Structure 1
Amino acid sequence: MIDPTRLLRSAFLALALLFLAPVGAGGTLLGVEAAQAATVARISVIGNKEVDDAAVIKYLAVRVGEQATSAKLSASVDALQATGLFKSVSVTMQGSTVVVKVVENSIVSSVQFEGNQRFSDANLVAMIDLMNRGTVDQAGLDRDIATIKKAYTDVGYTNVDVSTRLEPAGNGRTRVVFVINEGGRSGIAAINFTGNNSISSWNLKSIIKTHETGWLSWLLRDDNYTQEQLDVDRVLIQQYYANHGFPDAQVTSAVAEYDAKRNGYFITYTIVEGDRYSFGKIGVETSIAGLDANNLTNTIRTRQGDRFSSAELQQSAQDMAVEATNLGYPFADVRPRVERDPATGTFGVTYLVDEGAHLYVERINITGNAKTRDFVIRRELGFAEGDPFNRAMVTAGKQHIEALGFFSKVDVSAQPGSAADKVILNINVTEQSTGDYGITAGYDSSSGILGELSVTERNFLGRGQYIKASLGASQTGKSFNFSFTEPYFMGLKMSAGVDAYHIINDETSSNIYGTTSTGAQFRFGLPVTRDLSAQLFTGLDQTVIADSDHNSSFFTDGQKLNKAWVGYSLTYNTLDDQKHPTEGLYATLTQQYVGWNYNFVKTEAKARYFMPIFPDAGLVGSVKGQAGIINTFGSSGLNPVEAFNYGNTLVRGFQPSNMGPRIGAQPVGYTAYAGGSLEATFPIPMLPETYGLSGSVWADAAVVGGQGASGAVDPTSINQPLKSSVGASIIWDSPFGPLRGDFAYVLTKATDDKTQMFALTLQTLL
């Protein structure tokens, strides 16, 4: 019989031993782990064929002479499995020996692809990680399949199917074949907007990154759908509204629905516009002693009565801070105070200019520029180490770096320096291609079919220099051109460059005489103000006349005409967009003296002002004026080569070099002209914006006077000095450059002036 007292005493003793026993690390009772762990005397590897013992042992968490705990054995299994070399792994302790048993994955002998057309084999090999791993494991193959599918999906192949086929290659090796069924490429069937009562759908389509499938989509590949792109579009739409009078506009949703029958997506953006606002009273206040607020008003882009624009508001604040820095107040901080008045639909703005924190740039770190030299980036900042730190200057510097066109992405961040008043600036750039090899072909009304081969590098040797060489040919001649520009000559904010050329214009039925011109020009450019720049230039030229048929009354075959010139040009530019302007003024004034065989001064002034007529509908108007005059000195006179010979570039509908005075039925050009043009440009309804097509209607008029050679002028060539025409144009923003086809109807002309109903030319600002 069991004694209850003795049983109770034994139970208490057992509990005491349990709780009083020392506890080891991890909660293991002292002695238990030690009993399980043994000192490793030897490591044995079993099952490996391609991977040697040393390579296997290297991944183990335990070594000879160490204790083999269960944690170390488990960690060894995990490490070996993570290599991807083995299908299965076990690590056990048998006596004092660690036994490692492995079953190896197959070694990759080669990788092949079947069914791929969109991506080359080399492209696909670069995407996957199989060759880096060197072995075949299903988890790795699944990751590679997912990578290939994503690459196809990103370029519109949403129905792509990717699988693998494993083929024995002998000696335990495996050939991996990726079988790709690309399927049809999905596009964007339609893009719709709801709630956009004030801004047209065409305008909104033109500013987003997602584009409808069009007839050029096969070339541009711009009709891909991704959710990331839709998110970017939402931001772009809101920014566009905020810059066009709607500060409260929101894109509440962007939904894409796939239509299997159309193999495309229908995308709908839902917009809540809010109320339209314009700018009210504008003012500047400053608390900085000695700084006159009136000296900052010239930087204000926001004008009372103009529609509200968030971009103009922020740019004005930035320009004002930069101007204050230039005036000697480097710590100026500008904040726009905005006062909303819903009753009048206006935002009153007061720019507050206060003294900011006195911080200094301790160091500027630049990363990511493998090709571009550091100094090319640093000189765009406008400040250096040790200078005051001003956020407006940093933002302006970032914009200048982006404007170089050398980088696809520019990130600028600041971090605290070694002291409270020190800041370290970090600039990370992502470089993009800056070289172009061009092969273009086209048609010009005056030259016929033409083509050009060119090589261009915008960041030559990573020094920010521009260089271009081109070879052109047409039905009427050939051309060889070379151009080089150093944007910061001798480290100054002044550009310097040289242009050399050899141009041959053949003697043809339409050209009474031919010319071969060889010359070069040196030029220097510098900014005068924010909107005004100047250029100085000088050059030499020799032109040889070709007149084998002796048709010309002014030249002889083989005659050489030498000239040297020096001049300047001024350019004033306030355009809001250099490629598709909707507002602003672009004007040039050029004057040059020409000597050697000549003695005259040529002066030309041209200007074009753009204005939005119905901005929400994309209707833009422009007014252009141009004038020129040649003043000769002495008895050297002039000849038709140097006289003005504009045709359709002055008044559309007139043939080049066939407008104005004639002597003996030969055009001699004119020495003075004045002209003007009115034009309205608009999107073409029902056409997707991705086609890059727009239309315009216009009216041109000009008066020409003087004659480019001495002699009796044919009366029928000057019986109407006023040249005028009206017409319409189709403008195509083509991948090869902006082209325009002008359909003209001439209203007034001289009897001998030659006209043309249609002309295909390059689109220019002037």
Structure 2
Amino acid sequence: MQVTSGRKTTRNARRGALLNTLVISFFLVLAMVCAWGVTPAQAQAQDYRFTAVRVEGNQRIEPGTILSYAGIKRGATISGADLNDAYQRIAQSGLFQQVDLVPQGNTLVIKVKEYPIINVINFEGNKRYKDDQLAKVIKSQSRKVYSPAQAEADAATLTDFYRANSRYAARITPKIIHRSDNRVDLVFEIQEGRITEIHRVSFIGNRAYSDRRLRQVIETKQAGLLHQLISKDSYLAERLTQDKQKLKDFYLSRGYIDFQVLDVTSSMARNRNSFFLTFKVQEGLSYRFGKITAASEVHGLDAKDFQAALRIKPGQTYSPTIVQYNVERLENLALAKGLNFIRVEPRVARNDRNQTLDIAFTLVKGPRLFVQRIDIQGNNTTLDRVIRRQFHTVEGDPFNPRAIRAASDRIKALGFFSDVQVTTKPGTAKDQVIIDTNVTEQPTGSLSFGVSYGVDAGAGVALSFSESNFLGRGQSLKASINSGVDNATSSITFVEPALLGRDLQFSFGAQYATSSYNNNYYDTKTISVTPGIEFPISENGRLGLHYRIAQDKMSNVDNGVATPSILTNEVGTKLTSIIGYRYSYDTRRTGLNPNAGVLLSFGQDFAGVGGDNRYIRTSAAAKAEKKVAREEVTLRASLEGGVLTMLKGDSRAVDRYFGTGKILGFKANGIGPRDLNATNQDALGGNMFAVARVEAEFPLGLPTEYGIRGGVFFNAGSVWGLDNTYGQTIDTSMHLRSAIGFSIFWDTPIGPLRFNFSRALQKQSYDQVRNFDLMISTQF
């Protein structure tokens, strides 16, 4: 009995433990359900059927609009998921800040709380940009429904706007001010911050060229002395793509065919006001041209004439520009022979042992494709014909991809567009191609007002206007007024680059000038009009023809003595009618050698086609420039001269040469024949002049961003010859003058300045020297 009682007790204990476990589990589940806020009955899926739908809380939004968002039909059976979808549609409309769907028996109550209406939008803290500029950036508008999400998106858009303008430290915070009638004022609090500049640009992996040289290649610049006036020293991520391409073009044109920009990293300083930019490059080796041949794969076409047309010398540094130039020459030769659809493929054989590239310019038969039409878009101001004339291809011509790429380059070179995209697409037939040209216009005009200064002319006021795309016709119009202490000049110049749609440049210029130099005791007045035309006669040569009619007046000669001087005999007004020509040969027009260039010019003016003067004026110049020492040093040399030959009467001071600015180290009108009998010893000028100049420009070791370089120079030349001395003892002989010195070149936002410190080596006792000069820096 005792055993049986024990077994029962054990079974009862087990049953009690199981019952306790079930009770505890029930209460745990109940507690969890209560914690979730859902009753067991609510946890079960339900279907709803509403015979009525009521909207509450709406003030401006019509109930029908809200019901359309909900999409619930009266009397239809809907599930809990359908009810949730209705809620999502109403909430996502962006019109309400709170939405509740409350089933009340057979009625569904939609309770909403509308977003307020924006009363006004204000910008606070903005100084760099005006309110109307910022208002165009955002999407929120006055008298529209306020949306917090849209306000945050607008703040992000404004931040991107400031970053696009190099203000990466900008902070924009949207805030609202509650007004009556459920309205709010939306305020964007702006902390603009400073412009984020480029503190340092460095390069890794460059051996052939220094960081200083490569910084001259890219558009991005380091912040320098005048960094607040220079926009290119601010950080723009979009500019890095251009910089990478410029570096690649720079190295390729110098034979580095394996060059790569491996990476560009930018790190921001802690104060978020500057960036450190690093280009990681891989240069490779420089290659030269090896064996150059022309071959033909076209049946019956001999490559002999094409071989003779090639202009590449073995041993010359490889450049894609030179290859492209020769491809165009051969394809143009094929067209001249009446051969259409002939393409030239430059096939390159690489010789790594001697670092040369053998190129076989192979003539092949291209596909028979024709240009169906040329479409132009994006030119709101520029006329179609200005762009279309850059294509040497018209509708119906054989399609040549290289000719189209060359046209794209010519359109970019106009300077009228910030972006040019020339693409092709199939035409309406298999053998036709449509050329799409999309351009983005940019400002082409400028109006400037400033103060000028010259050592001789003193301080002056300058006002100028220029427009390189006048009325969208591709024409150039320039007008300027310059007034100094002793002189004043007004001029206007108009240029039509494509007269009658051809490569024929027409120009028209008019000038009115007066002068009264301190070291010349007489006054002059000149009024002139000069029309002209210019056209190419070879790849690098152009010929210009011009006509000039001018009225020159000399007056108020004060020689300080009773006896008439030479200048006294030249007082008066004369009308001069001139026809002339000028030939120029400039190797920079093809751009085949980026490190050197030669400019030759020769011209003559023939006065006597009417008017009072009869003479021939002949002038010639030869100038050359070359970069050496890894392109760190620039060498320049020039030789210039002129001869005035009178056919009737004697020359006057307004017609003769004075050598002003030709030889550094001397004052304006400081060399040549001089009237020593006059108290003021006026410079008389001469009928002939000749000048030779050599100089070198080199870095001074200063940071590139300062834009300061040094230079040394040597000048030699003379001014001599008079027709009549009127019995005066005047030295008209040719005496050589020379000077040496050093210069400081400074690239500033107002223009390139040049400071010259010189010493005359050879001079005459009556010459007037100058040991310091400040001038605008010019190259040929």
Same fold (TM over 0.5): yes
C-alpha distance in 2 between matches for 1:496 and 1:95: 89
* 2:219 is the counterpart of 1:237: no
**Counterpart of 1:122 in 2: which secondary structure?**
helix
* 2:475 is the counterpart of 1:460: no
Moved more, 638-647 or 175-184: 175-184
Equivalent position to 2:541, from 516, 524, 532: 532
Amino acid in the other structure paired with 2:672: G
Aligned-pair distance for 1:90? 6.7
Partner of 1:519: 528
Aligned-pair distance for 1:225? 2.9
* 2:760 is the counterpart of 1:738: no
Amino acid in the other structure paired with 1:476: D
* 2:643 is the counterpart of 1:629: yes
C-alpha distance in 2 between matches for 1:300 and 1:62: 77
* 1:31-46 equivalence runs, <5 A: 46=56
1:657-683 superposed Cα distances (whole Å, 9 cap, x missing partner)? 221112343222111222222222223
1:249-290 superposed Cα distances (whole Å, 9 cap, x missing partner)? 223332223332694333332333222222212222233467
Identity %: 29
8 Å CA contact 1:502, 1:518 repeated in 2: yes
* 2:490 is the counterpart of 1:480: yes
Amino acid in the other structure paired with 2:701: P
Aligned length: 722
8 Å CA contact 2:567, 2:684 repeated in 1: no
Q: Which has the larger radius of gyration?
A: 2
Q: What TM-score do the two structures reach when normalised by structure 2?
A: 0.85
1:73-110 superposed Cα distances (whole Å, 9 cap, x missing partner)? 88876666565433245789999999765432222221
Partner of 1:673: 689
Aligned-pair distance for 1:592? 0.9
C-alpha distance in 1 between matches for 2:368 and 2:639: 50
8 Å CA contact 1:84, 1:133 repeated in 2: no
1:464-516 superposed Cα distances (whole Å, 9 cap, x missing partner)? 1111221111121211111111222222321212111111113x532211112
Partner of 2:416: 406
1:2-61 superposed Cα distances (whole Å, 9 cap, x missing partner)? xxxxxxxxxxxxxxxxxxxxxxxxxxxxxxxxx9899xx99876433334567667x749
**Counterpart of 1:673 in 2: which secondary structure?**
strand
Aligned-pair distance for 1:377? 0.7
1:379-404 superposed Cα distances (whole Å, 9 cap, x missing partner)? 11111111111011101111111111
* 2:774 is the counterpart of 1:760: yes
Aligned-pair distance for 1:413? 0.6
Distance 1:556 1:600, change over 3 A: closer
1:112-152 superposed Cα distances (whole Å, 9 cap, x missing partner)? 12222232222222222212893321211111111222222
* 1:329-340 equivalence runs, <5 A: 329-340=339-350
Amino acid in the other structure paired with 1:603: T
* 2:594 is the counterpart of 1:586: no
* 2:623 is the counterpart of 1:611: no
Partner of 1:17: none
**Counterpart of 1:180 in 2: which secondary structure?**
strand
* 2:583 is the counterpart of 1:570: yes
8 Å CA contact 2:152, 2:174 repeated in 1: no
Partner of 1:4: none
Aligned-pair distance for 1:305? 1.6
Distance 1:257 1:548, change over 3 A: same
Partner of 1:542: 551
**Counterpart of 2:136 in 1: which secondary structure?**
helix
Equivalent position to 1:652, from 645, 661, 664: 664
**Counterpart of 1:667 in 2: which secondary structure?**
coil
**Counterpart of 2:403 in 1: which secondary structure?**
helix
* 2:323 is the counterpart of 1:307: no
**Counterpart of 1:130 in 2: which secondary structure?**
coil
C-alpha distance in 2 between matches for 1:338 and 1:528: 33
Moved more, 622-631 or 114-123: 114-123
Partner of 1:686: 702
Distance 1:326 1:98, change over 3 A: farther
8 Å CA contact 2:539, 2:590 repeated in 1: no
Amino acid in the other structure paired with 1:554: L
* 2:426 is the counterpart of 1:416: yes
8 Å CA contact 1:46, 1:99 repeated in 2: yes
**Counterpart of 2:574 in 1: which secondary structure?**
strand
C-alpha distance in 2 between matches for 1:121 and 1:221: 23
Partner of 1:439: 449
Distance 1:315 1:52, change over 3 A: farther
Aligned-pair distance for 1:590? 1.7
Distance 1:323 1:112, change over 3 A: farther
Distance 1:54 1:290, change over 3 A: farther
Equivalent position to 1:85, from 95, 102, 107: 95
Distance 1:714 1:215, change over 3 A: farther
Amino acid in the other structure paired with 1:638: S
Distance 1:344 1:109, change over 3 A: same
C-alpha distance in 2 between matches for 1:559 and 1:75: 98
Equivalent position to 1:561, from 574, 577, 580: 574
Amino acid in the other structure paired with 1:186: T
C-alpha distance in 1 between matches for 2:623 and 2:173: 60
Moved more, 338-347 or 247-256: 247-256
Distance 1:377 1:227, change over 3 A: closer
Amino acid in the other structure paired with 1:251: V
Distance 1:238 1:644, change over 3 A: same
Partner of 1:498: 508
**Counterpart of 2:660 in 1: which secondary structure?**
coil
C-alpha RMSD over aligned residues: 3.3
Amino acid in the other structure paired with 1:659: I
C-alpha distance in 1 between matches for 2:124 and 2:659: 59
8 Å CA contact 2:167, 2:193 repeated in 1: yes
Q: What TM-score do the two structures reach when normalised by structure 1?
A: 0.86
**Structure 1: which 5+ runs fail to align?**
1-34
8 Å CA contact 1:321, 1:332 repeated in 2: yes
C-alpha distance in 2 between matches for 1:381 and 1:478: 43
C-alpha distance in 2 between matches for 1:516 and 1:182: 54
Equivalent position to 1:751, from 742, 753, 765: 765
Aligned-pair distance for 1:642? 0.2
C-alpha distance in 2 between matches for 1:73 and 1:378: 62
C-alpha distance in 1 between matches for 2:267 and 2:226: 23
Distance 1:553 1:92, change over 3 A: farther
Distance 1:753 1:359, change over 3 A: same
**Counterpart of 1:383 in 2: which secondary structure?**
coil
1:447-472 superposed Cα distances (whole Å, 9 cap, x missing partner)? 12233111211111111111122111
Amino acid in the other structure paired with 1:146: A
C-alpha distance in 1 between matches for 2:628 and 2:192: 47
* 2:230 is the counterpart of 1:217: no
Partner of 1:14: none
Amino acid in the other structure paired with 1:678: V
Distance 1:705 1:138, change over 3 A: same
* 1:710-721 equivalence runs, <5 A: 710-712=725-727, 714-715=729-730, 717-718=731-732, 721=735
Amino acid in the other structure paired with 2:550: D
C-alpha distance in 2 between matches for 1:557 and 1:601: 19
